[in-house]
């Protein structure tokens, strides 16, 4: 069965989901925020929230990961109408890649212009410390090397072109804005900028894989975000993304360190307030345009 004709993520089903949400919220959000592991506090900052459980939204997948609440929250942030995903979907949960990126297309059909994504990631760059926040300037889509791309299958022209450009995947104006806001807030000592590499998961990386990924030019490694960005850019939305460096990737065979999900969530708690401040200040200053 071809992806675009498969149940759950055709254009008509994305349109039906968008219309269902619009009919129940009376909001037309300009900004969508995707919260990664342990970073759902951004959704708590929305004023006058209208909350939906993923299980109640037509065609939506379910979030199965601890630390991902599985709720879609509408509200206002700094006076701007926003929608926030508390929890996202991953390849390792067993969903087709077109299904895990469905929310991006739904957001486009609801009127969203800018998508802000957050994730927890392992630090490959040896200059990074646990608790650093990396502004993503580019990504490496490793599953894409094996043909696992959310745009595989017949192209839906109503969303975008067959061969979308990805050299501008992460909006450079928003990257500059993040640096400016971070400097004003006194965050420069832990704010970084680098390349994110996505793997399929759910197992963490081997030492050899970490060494290889770092040599390829990656500064941080995770299991999300890049696929969502590909679909969001295909739809013409601007993208900005942050990685919270929640653990240092093990690069040395003599090391006794081990990556674990609990460490990811704990680091999220420690840095969450500052990340929320960075994002909310950016939202306040954003000018919305589609490109």
Q: Tokens for 161, please give them.
A: 């072109």
pLDDT greater at residue 261 or residue 238: 238
Fold of 3-285: Rossmann fold (3.40.50)
Active-site entry in 92, 166, 209, 251: 92
What's the rounded Cα separation, in Å, for the pair 29 and 156? Answer: 23
- Per-residue pLDDT, 5: 46
Is residue 210 over pLDDT 70? yes
**Domain coordinates in residue numbering, the chain:** 3-285
120 in catalytic set: yes
For 26-84, what is each residue's pLDDT tens digit?
Answer: 889 999 999 987 677 888 889 999 999 999 999 998 877 776 678 999 999 999 999 99
Marked catalytic residue, from 19, 166, 209, 261:
261
Q: To the nearest whole number, what is the mean pLDDT of the chain?
A: 90
- Active-site residue, 37 included: yes
What pTM was computed for the model? 0.93
Catalytic residue among 90, 139, 227, 234: 90
DSSP per-residue string spanning 68-125: ---EEEEEEETTEEEEEEES---GGGT--HHHHTHHHHHHHHHT--EEEEEEEEEE-S
Q: Is 90 among the catalytic positions?
A: yes
Over range 259-265, report the average pLDDT.
Answer: 73
Considering the candidates 63, 228, 247, 282, report the single residue annotated as catalytic.
247
Q: Quick check: is 68 catalytic?
A: yes
User: Quick check: is 93 catalytic?
Assistant: yes
Mean of the pLDDT values across residues 172-189? 96
Mean pLDDT of 272-276: 87
Beta strands in 204-283 (DSSP E): 220-222, 238-248
- What percentage of the chain reaches a pLDDT higher than 70? 94
Report the pLDDT averaged over residues 115-130.
95
Both tokens of 14, joined, read: 């994305």
Band (290; pLDDT cuts 50, 70, 90): very low
Q: Pick the catalytic residue from 59, 119, 224, 246.
A: 224
Catalytic residue among 37, 59, 125, 149: 37
Lowest mean pLDDT among 90-94, 145-149, 257-261: 257-261
């Amino acid at each position: 069965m071809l992806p675009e004709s498969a149940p759950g993520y055709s254009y008509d089903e994305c349109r039906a989901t968008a219309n269902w949400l619009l009919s129940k919220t009376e909001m037309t959000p300009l900004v969508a925020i995707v919260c990664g592991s342990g970073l759902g506090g951004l959704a708590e900052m929305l004023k006058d929230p209208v909350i939906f459980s993923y299980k109640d939204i037509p065609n939506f997948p379910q979030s199965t990961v601890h630390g991902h609440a599985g709720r879609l929250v509408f509200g206002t942030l700094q006076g701007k109408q926003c929608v926030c995903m508390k929890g996202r979907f991953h390849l390792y949960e067993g969903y087709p890649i077109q299904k895990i990126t469905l929310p991006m297309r739904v957001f486009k059909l609801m009127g969203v212009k800018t998508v802000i994504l957050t994730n927890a990631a392992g630090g490959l760059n040896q200059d990074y410390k646990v608790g650093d926040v990396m502004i993503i300037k580019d990504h490496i889509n490793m599953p894409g090397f094996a043909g696992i791309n959310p745009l595989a299958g017949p192209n839906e022209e109503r969303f975008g072109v067959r061969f979308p450009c990805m050299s501008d995947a992460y909006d450079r104006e928003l990257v500059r804005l993040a640096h400016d806001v971070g400097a004003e807030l006194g965050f420069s000592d832990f704010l970084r900028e680098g390349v994110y590499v996505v793997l399929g998961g759910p197992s963490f990386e081997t030492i050899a894989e970490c060494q290889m990924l770092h040599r390829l030019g990656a500064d941080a490694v995770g299991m999300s975000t890049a696929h969502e960005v590909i679909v969001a850019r295909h739809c013409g939305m601007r993208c900005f993304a942050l990685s919270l460096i929640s653990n240092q990737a093990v690069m040395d065979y003599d090391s006794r360190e081990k990556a674990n999900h609990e460490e990811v969530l704990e680091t999220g708690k420690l840095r969450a307030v500052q990340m929320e401040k960075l994002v909310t200040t950016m939202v306040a200053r954003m000018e919305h345009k589609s490109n």
